[in-house]
Amino acid sequence: MTVIAGTVTALICVILITLIVVGVRGQAGDYQRNKATAAALRIAYEIRREPALQGGLAGPDEVVLQLLDSRHRVIAGTDRVSNGIPIARFRPAETDIYSTRALCPPRGFNGCMWVVAIRVYQPNGDWIVYAAIPTVPWYVNPSLMLFLVCVSLLGVLLVSLRAWGTVDQTLAPVDAIRAELAEITAGQSGRRVTVPENRDEIRLLAEAANATLDRLDSALARQRSFTSDASHDLRSPIAAARALIEEALLYPDQTDWPKTGRAVLQSLERLQAIVTDLLQLARLDAAAWQDTELVDLGALVTIEVARSDRTKRIVPHIQEGVTVLGDRLRLVRLLTNLLDNAERHAETRIDITVRREDSVAVLEVLDDGAGIAEQDRDLVFQRFARLEASKSRDPAGTGLGLPIAREIARLHGGTLTIEDSTKGARFVLRIPRDRGDQTT
C-alpha cells in the first residue's frame, strides 16, 4: 500500500510539474518575444526621429538588434552584429508591419532564438529592424526545476510516510487477530479474538473469525461426544462377550456351550453392525462419492417394498415420474433406515408417499405408532442418540440409522426432517429434482 501510494503521488507530481513547466514556459516565451518586440519598436521609433541612425545600437540584456536598409545591408546593430551579414533573411509580408519566427540558430549564432522583424517605411525603400532573443528551454529555469523536483520528492515522502502509518495502524488489529488465532488450539478452543470497537471491515473480520471458532467448537464438541458414544457402544458388546467367555472358562463343565456361543455371536453381530454404520458415516462425512444417475423414487420404493419382508403392512402412495439425480444405493440405504425405524415403532401400518412439490421431490414415511415428541425431533438425528422407547423395542440398535439417513439426504442437496402428523412419526425427505423432471 505504501509503494502504491508513493507511486501514485509521484505520477501526480510528474503531471503537475509538466503542467507547471508548460504554463511557465509559455508565459516566459511570451515575455521574451514581447521584450524583443519592444526593443525593435524602440529602434523603429528612433529611426523615425533620426533617419541617419548608424553604428552601434543599444538594447536590453540578451536582445540582439540589427538594422538593415532597403538593399538588405547591415547599417547598425549591437556590438556583435553591427557589421557583417544579416541575422535573418525573412521579411514581414507586404501587408504586415512585423513578423516573428524561431530560428535554430540565426546566422552567426548558436542555439535557437526568437527573431522579430519590423518594417520601417522610408522614402527610398523599407528598412528592416531585427531583434533576436534566446528561446526559453524546456525546463524554463534550473532553479525552478530544482524547486519543483524538491517539492515533489518531499510530497512523495510525506504521502509515503502517512500511508505507512495509516496502513500500520489499520492492520494492527488484523495482526492482533492473527496472533490470537495462532494461539488458539484444540485445547484452548473456548478462546475468542478481540472484537474492535469501530464498526468497520476489521470488526466484521473479527466477528467472522469468532463465528468460525463457534462452529469449530461445536464440531469439536460433536467429535468428542461421538468418540465417547462410539467407545461406549463398541465397548458394550465386547464386554458382554468377554464376560460370557470368562464365565464359561471358569465353569467349563457347567456351561451350555451352544447357548454361550449364540450369545457371543449376538454380541459380535451388534459389534459388526456398529462398525459397519461407523464406516458408512465416515464415508458420508468425507463425501467420497461422485457416481450419480437419474433415480425414479417411485420405482425405487416399489422395488424395495416388494423385495423386503416386513412385519408391518406397508401402504405405498406413489406419484409417477418423480425423479432425482443421485446415488441409487445410498438412497436405498436411506429408505431402508427409515423403514427399519418405522417398523420398530409402528403398531400395524406404515404409509410411504412419493410426490412432487414444484422443483422438489418428496418422500414421506409415516407409521401409526406413538410418534416422537417435538422436543426430541432433533435428538433422534444425533449419532448414538436413542430414546427410551427405541431402546425397549430394539435393544440391539446402534442409534446410527437416522443420522446416516439425514447425512445421505444432505449429500443429495436435500433435507430429512420430522413433521407434524395426527398419529405416529412422519419423516419427510425433500430432494431437488433433476432438470428433465421439471418439465413433466
* CATH number, domain containing residue 396: 3.30.565.10
Q: For residue 420, what pLDDT band results from cuts at 50, 70 and 90?
A: confident
Question: Are 276 and 319 in the same domain?
Answer: no
Instruction: Give residue 16's pLDDT.
Output: 93
Of 286, 314, 339, the domain-final residue: 286
Residue 370 has pLDDT above 70, yes or no: yes
Percentage with pLDDT > 90 across the chain: 22
Q: Which pLDDT value is given to residue 242?
A: 85
| Cell numbers at 415, concatenated | 433435507
Query: How sure is the predictor about 371, in pLDDT bands with cuts at 50, 70 and 90?
Result: confident
CB atoms within 10 A of CB 385: 17
The CATH number of residue 17's host domain is 3.30.450
332 and 249 assigned to the same domain: no
In a domain, 152, yes or no: no
Q: Is the pLDDT of residue 439 over 50?
A: no
CB of 274 within 8 A of CB of 398? yes
The string of pLDDT tens digits covering residues 378-407 is 888 877 666 666 655 555 556 778 888 888
Count of domains forming the chain: 3
Residue 416: which pLDDT band, with cuts at 50, 70 and 90? very high
Quick one: 327 and 408 in the same domain?
Answer: yes
| Domain assignment of residue 356, yes or no | yes
Same domain, 418 and 357: yes
**155 belongs to a structural domain:** no
Q: Tell me, yes or no, whether 245 lies in a domain.
A: yes
Confidence of residue 286 (pLDDT cuts 50, 70, 90): low
Q: Judge if 264 and 305 occupy the same domain.
A: no
pLDDT band of residue 158 (cuts 50, 70, 90) is very high
**Same domain assignment for residues 87 and 216:** no
Residue 221: the pLDDT is 72
Looking at the fold, whether 9 and 63 belong to one and the same domain comes out as yes
Q: Are 217 and 248 in contact (CB under 8 A)?
A: no
pLDDT of residue 440 exceeding 50 = no
Q: Domain end: 74, 105, 134, which one?
A: 134
Return the pLDDT at 188: 62
- Residue range 330-367, pLDDT digits in tens: 888 889 889 988 888 888 999 999 999 888 999 999 99
Asked if 128 and 2 sit in the same domain, the reply is: yes
CA distances from 266 to 126, 215, 271 (A): 135, 39, 9
Q: What is the pLDDT of residue 436?
A: 43
Which residues, other chains included, contact 276 with Cβ-Cβ below 8 Å and sequence gap of 6+? none
Query: Quick one: 336 and 221 in the same domain?
Result: no
Query: What average pLDDT does the segment 272-286 reach?
Result: 68
Q: Calculate the CA 425 to chain-centre distance.
A: 45
398 domain residue, yes or no: yes
Per the model's pLDDT, the better-predicted residue between 215 and 336 turns out to be 336
Under the banding of pLDDT at 50, 70 and 90, the label for residue 289 is low
Range(s) of the domain holding residue 97 = 1-134
Q: Are 56 and 78 in contact (CB under 8 A)?
A: yes
Residue 187: predicted pLDDT: 55
pLDDT at 185: 59
pLDDT at residue 110 tops 80: yes
Task: Tell me: pLDDT of 254 over 50.
Answer: yes
Cα separation, 189 vs 191, in Å, equals: 5
Same domain membership, residue 82 and residue 51: yes
d(CA 69, CA 85): 12
Does residue 306 share a domain with residue 259? no
What letter does residue 108 receive in the DSSP assignment? T
State yes or no: pLDDT of 218 exceeds 80. Answer: no
pLDDT class for 437, splitting at 50, 70, 90? Answer: very low
Same domain as 100, residue 2? yes
- 355 located within any domain: yes
Residue 128 within a domain? yes
Q: What local confidence, expressed as pLDDT, does residue 105 receive?
A: 87
Residue 116: which of 26, 28, 37, 32 has the closest Cα?
37
Tell me whether residue 261 is in a domain. Answer: yes
CATH number at residue 236: 1.10.287
- The overall average pLDDT reported for the chain is 82
